[in-house]
Structure 1
């Protein structure tokens, strides 16, 4: 995961409230968020999805935008979806791995 700067930490925390629709795990803990930058009320998110054909891409992006727009200083959210580096289970946080294991889902 990208190093988190102190000025974007609150946005990382906010995105922990946005859940992946397939697994009730945050997009942060799923490792979908690669980078967050904010300048003058404009926030730029670099992210990926677990698969190119993910049926939830628009839903997740909408939830991300909606949550970040709740921050009073944010006036615009830009989301760039990238496929390089590709998402792998190695991007799951320890918490996500623990939750998946409790559901009987392998996260190797």
Structure 2
């Protein structure tokens, strides 16, 4: 699971971004992408937000819907920022990356 250091100069902004990402629901599993452990990194600057994330599988048929959801929710709170989503496949996603809440929602905790 992603953590944001309290010492990060953009702690407030990144925390707001992370909270917004809880609204993005994986349309197959019906769990938000943060609790699924899909978010690996958040980069924030004056005009840009970059989300580094993965999907539960490289062949996820609804990956485009998820990345669109990320861009959509962030455009509400940060309308003057360009949002970029980088899909990465390393480290490979695993159930262990989920939060305890995500595991409970899937019934595996």
TM-score (norm 2): 0.87
Q: What per-residue deviation string (whole Å, max 9, x for no partner) do you get for residues 81-108 of structure 1?
A: 110000000011111111111xxxx46x
User: For the residues of structure 2 that align with 1:2 and 1:75, how far apart are their CA atoms?
Assistant: 21
- In the alignment, what sits opposite 2:73? 67
RMSD: 1.4
Structure 2 residue runs without a partner (length 5+): 6-10
Residue 12 of structure 2 corresponds to residue 33 of structure 1:
no
2:2–2:37 Cα contact (<8 Å) kept: no
- In the alignment, what sits opposite 2:2? 2
The number of aligned residues is: 103
Q: What per-residue deviation string (whole Å, max 9, x for no partner) do you get for residues 18-41 of structure 1?
A: 101012211000001101111013
Greater RCO (Cα-Cα under 8 Å, separation 6 or more): 2
List structure 1 segments (4+ residues) > 4 angstroms apart after TM superposition: none
